[in-house]
Each structure stands twice: as structure tokens, then as C-alpha cells.
Structure 1
Amino acid sequence: MWPFQRTPSIDPAQGDPRARTLITALTGQDRDTIRQIFTETTDHDERAFLMATADDVPGVQDWITGWITDEPESTLPLLIRGCHAVAWAWDARGGRLARYTSSDKFAEFHRRLKIAENCLDEVTDRDPDEVLAWAWLTTSARGRQVPTDTATERFRQVTKRAPHHLLAHEQRLQHLCRKWAGSHAEMFAFAREATAGAPPGHLLPNVLAIAHLEYWLSLPGGEDAAYMTTPLVRADLRTAAEQSILHPAFTRTPGWASRANTFAMALHMAGEYQYAAHVFDLIGDHVTEWPWFYRTLFGSPARTFAKARRDVHRSRR
């Protein structure tokens, strides 16, 4: 509850002790600890959260090939290299739209994605049930612009083993965005279907909030802010939040914070301050870079988060 820190700091581990240990182990090239963490973690969404955390650790590509060489029978270092290389590729590309991205950056982007897919393909050949590999192949699909049926099959390989896989659904949504390989209609149809099929208290309905934020990003100035306050958007966000993080069955599972922040930002933008207040109370000081960087022109995502939280707090007075 209020008050919280005036401007909280962003924790790359999102408050999760295993994620923090993993970051330290990857930085220190501690193979035994890395292996132990991934071996002992069996939940698909928790494993995806840990791997996504690993993606942000710099320098992994500089040493991981040595581990692959030393343990050719193990798929784990190959998996880590492949997943990390997907994020490494996007680092090379940058976050700007295609028309503002240089040919050199695109060349490096595709070179790194090829490294990623070669590793992940080998993992799935050797272990078809490795959901993490299929999930990261779902991400790389849009970067490599693979055929539609190939991208769909990669996602199907995830969901037949983990029907409500959170990260894979989020990445599939991105693939279906108009700015990549789909359309607004495909994006929203997917988000609504996923939300409707999510178990009570699951984080998956956040894909509907993401879909509205993606549409907001596609609109020109003036229209974008107005869109977020339309009755349809507000109703969608309330319903999704009630089914997810505001449902009595919700529990804080690893990776919950970034999804809660997505709801908080979208509800704040929609003017749904009472709902946003409940979400901010849930978040506390667990601010995440995603999605606040979308609204950060100057300063930091944490300051943008803190300002939105103050707006919501004032509405309670």
C-alpha cells in the first residue's frame, strides 16, 4: 500500500531470487549453478522467465561456445546460446522501425538470428519436447520472416505441450501485429481467443492489454490518446484485469511484475484509475522497463511509472 518509493529502481531479476542467482552465475560463467537452476525449474512459464532474464545478460555469446564444446552431449548450453542469440540479434537491429534501420544493422540482425535458429533447431531435433526452444523459435520467426505455416507450426509445438504458455503467446501476438506479418484484426482475434481461454487468475489476459497498446502505437498523435479512453478499450482492460491479476485466484509467479506493469500502464492511459490503483498497489515498487519505455521520451521508465502512480494516487484523495 501507499506510500512507496518516490522513484523506484528497475530490478532486472524482478525481485525473483533464482533470477538474481542466474544473472550472477551467467556473469561469472558458473556452469554448475546455471545447470542446477534450469534442471530444478520445471514449470514452463518459470523456465521462460528465467531464460528471458538470461537473454539480458551481456557477454554470454563470448563464452558459451566453450561450454558447448566441452559438453557436446548436453543441449542446455546450446539452448542458452540459441535463446540468447535471439535477443542479441534484436540488440543489433535496434528498436527503430524498418525504414529507419540501416542495411548494416539488418545484416548483423540476420546473421545473429541464423546463429540462434541453427542452435534452436539442433535442440528441437535432439529434444522435441524442449518447449523453450520452440518458444524462442516463435520469437525469431518474425525476424527471419519465415513462411506463415512455419511460424504457426512453431507456436503449435509450444501450445501442444504448454497450452497457456505466456511468453509464446506474447511473441505470437507480436508476429500477428500489422507491423510484422499480420493485421490488427488477426492480432485482436488472437488476443481475445487467448484471453477467453485463460484459466482464472492467469497472466495470459495481458495479451489483450498488449494488443490495445500495439494499436495505440500505430496511431498518429492525438488519435492515440483518444483511442485508449474509448468505451471498448476501457471495458476490455477492466475485464482482462478482473480475469487475471485482479482475480482472487491470482498468485505472484515469476515474471508477474512485467505483466502487472502492462496492465497498470494501459489502465492509467485509459483513465481507469480505480482499477489502475489496485494494480499499482499490487506492484508496489516492482517497476519494469517494459512497457513504460514506450511512454518515456526523456528521463527513465521508472520515472514515467512513478508519475503515473502519483496520478492514480491523487485520484484517491
Structure 2
Amino acid sequence: MSSTYRTTGTVKGPPRLDPYDLHPEMAELRTLVTARDWPGVQAFFDARSQTDQTYAASLVSEMPGAETFLADAAARHPAAPLPRTLLAYRQVVIGWGIRSAARAQHVSRDQFRQFHDWLRRAEQQLIDVCAEQPGFPLAWYVRLITARGLELGQSEARRRYDRLAAVAPHHFAGQSQLLQQLCPKWGGSWELAHGFARECAAAAPNGSNCAVLVADAHIEHWLDLPSPEDQAYMRGVPVRDDLRFAAEVSVWHPDHRPDTRWTAAHNTFAMAFSVGGHLRDAARHFAVLGDRADPSSWKYLGDDARAVFAKHRKAALAAR
């Protein structure tokens, strides 16, 4: 059975960014956290796939004030790995918010101090979870984020990824975190980053989202280049062909099954093709997305993700 997508709204409608609007099945989770219903939250996660659990955890981590509820749940259920892991994830997001997404030279000493304090709190909890429940993938995933933030180095990040991959092969979110670590800005190299992305794409089952890493690596490389080298890079035939291959073996493959990652995956390809001027390629992804925009894919092109998405969607669809 080939993958299918249902477009809610028109391909010319106002872009939608709200994750609970794009994935309405996640609205229940927000209600449960707001109501401080831990048994309900645990049941919600237990009923989801690994991919959807990771996405759900990211939503909880972004909920202001959730840390008090999660700390209480962790205290009430000391043997359960989920509340401690979600609490750690929330602490990581708080810390990263203080640090900001700026390059290190633009982050103050006090920002770094607070950032590291929050990450160390998270890390201590995650160490305990991983020691008690080494087969719990979500904890290893979050530890990839703390490894990068605490600057523990390439070897330690790779060790944590290997532990994750041992229990959850082709864990796309975990691979995305290691890809960041392998970029030059975090002590890696473009050879390592592109090599890892291609390795993950080649090893993954057909239709997996893992090949999206190929596009992510090219986007990161593009961001690191000065103008006009950046534009020439994305317009190059090798990058275009890499993107086409990655799209064909992932979101366009007959075995692809839409999940909570599908909108982000298509947005990533749409953005990469658009930046490279490959508008007909981008149009295929926009046609499937309709009005579903993912801010993480468009933030590099302007502060107003809706306007940027709409602008590039219009240009791509006009080129069909």
C-alpha cells in the first residue's frame, strides 16, 4: 500500500504552524498535562509508537510550567522512567532557552552558567534512568542533547548514540541530534556530518524518515557558507541529486507511512529545494503539505515563518 496524505485546507490557504492543529491527536496530551493527570499521560505514551512518543515528549518539554507537574509525578513514581525523562527534557529546554540559539561568542558567561546548571540537573536524572532502564530509548535521546550542551565531545555523543541505536535502530530524532554534534559548529566536520547522514539513509528501511538527514546536512552546510557561496552550493547539481534521492527513498517511497514527522519532513525538502532554486521539486512537497507549515524548516529564511512559507509555496507552485 502506498503512502497517502490528506490535505485539510487548500494549498493556497494561510499556513498553519500550531503543532496541535497539525497533529490534533496530540491535543489530548496537552489536556492531560494541564489537568496534571499522570496516569493519563503514561497511558497516552504507552499507546504511541516510538516516533510519536518522541514527538509527544518534545511537546511536553515546551509546555511552560510543566516542570512542577513532572517533578511531582517523578516523586510519586520513582521507579518509572517516563516522568523523570520528561522532567529532564523540560529542564533541557528551559536551559537552552536561557542560552538561546546564538553562536557561542554571542552568549554571555551568566547565560552559559545557568544553561549548564539546568543541563546538569537533567543529566543527573537521566544517568539514573539509563542505569536502571538501559533499554528506555527516550532517555538516551535526551542525553544526546545534554551531551552537546555540556560539550562532552564527539566520542561521548557517539557512545550515547550507539546505546540508543542498540535498542532503537533508525531512531530519526536521535540521529538528528548526533548530526548536529557532527557539524563543525559543535566540533565535527562536514565529512563526518554528510557521511553520517548518508550512512543512516542507506541503512534505514525504505520509506523511513531517516533519509531526511541528507537534506538536514545540506541545510546545515549551506548555513555555514558565506554569500554567494551558499547559494551556489544549494543550486549545485550534486546537492540537488542528493535531495532527490533522499526524498525518493523516504517520503515518496511507497512504503512511507505518515506519522508525526511527515509534515516536518516535507517542509525540510520543500525548503531545501526552494533555496536551491529547484522549484518544481519543491512544488511536489508543497502540493502535499497544503497549508501545513513547520517553523523549524523556515526559521533560517526569516522571522515570520508563515510569510516565508507562503512566499516560497507561491513561487514553487507557479513553476509547475
TM-score, normalized by length of structure 2? 0.93
Deviation (angstroms), 1:128: 0.8
Letter in 1 for 2:264: S
Gaps of 5+ in 2: 1-6
Gaps of 5+ in 1: none
* Structure 2 residue corresponding to 1:29, chosen from 20, 36, 42: 36
- Whether the 8 Å CA contact 1:55–1:87 is kept in 2: the answer is yes
Letter in 1 for 2:45: F
Aligned counterparts of 1:313 and 1:175: Cα–Cα separation in 2: 35
Runs ≥4 in structure 1, deviation > 3 angstroms?
none
Q: Confirm whether residue 310 of structure 1 aligns to residue 314 of structure 2.
A: yes
1:65 aligned residue = 71
1:10 aligned residue = 17
Q: Confirm whether residue 38 of structure 1 aligns to residue 42 of structure 2.
A: no
CA deviation vs aligned residue, 1:61-108 (integer Å, no higher than 9, x gap): 233222222222322211110122222221111011110111111111
Q: Which moved more, 1:91-100 or 1:56-65?
A: 56-65
1:102 aligned residue = 108
CA deviation vs aligned residue, 1:9-50 (integer Å, no higher than 9, x gap): 212236223322112222332212211111222x32221111
TM-score, normalized by length of structure 1? 0.94
Q: Percent same amino acid at aligned positions?
A: 33
Q: Confirm whether residue 50 of structure 1 aligns to residue 62 of structure 2.
A: no
Deviation (angstroms), 1:117: 0.7
CA deviation vs aligned residue, 1:181-206 (integer Å, no higher than 9, x gap): 21111111111111111211111111
* Superposition map of 1:295-306 within 5 A: 295-297=301-303, 300-306=304-310
Aligned counterparts of 1:229 and 1:222: Cα–Cα separation in 2: 11
- Whether the 8 Å CA contact 2:11–2:289 is kept in 1: the answer is no
The change in CA–CA distance for 1:269 and 1:159 in structure 2 (over 3 A counts) is same
C-alpha root-mean-square deviation of aligned residues, in Å?
A: 1.6
Aligned counterparts of 1:80 and 1:290: Cα–Cα separation in 2: 21
* Superposition map of 1:147-166 within 5 A: 147-166=153-172
* Structure 1 residue corresponding to 2:118, chosen from 112, 115, 135: 112
Aligned counterparts of 2:177 and 2:117: Cα–Cα separation in 1: 21
- Whether the 8 Å CA contact 1:14–1:286 is kept in 2: the answer is no
Q: Confirm whether residue 287 of structure 1 aligns to residue 293 of structure 2.
A: yes
Letter in 1 for 2:314: R
Q: Which moved more, 1:14-23 or 1:79-88?
A: 14-23
Letter in 2 for 1:303: A
Q: Greater relative contact order (Cα 8 A, min sep 6): structure 1 or 2?
A: 2
Q: Confirm whether residue 79 of structure 1 aligns to residue 85 of structure 2.
A: yes
Aligned counterparts of 1:176 and 1:73: Cα–Cα separation in 2: 34
Q: Secondary structure at the match of 1:160?
A: helix
In the alignment of these two chains, the number of paired residues is 313
Letter in 2 for 1:23: R
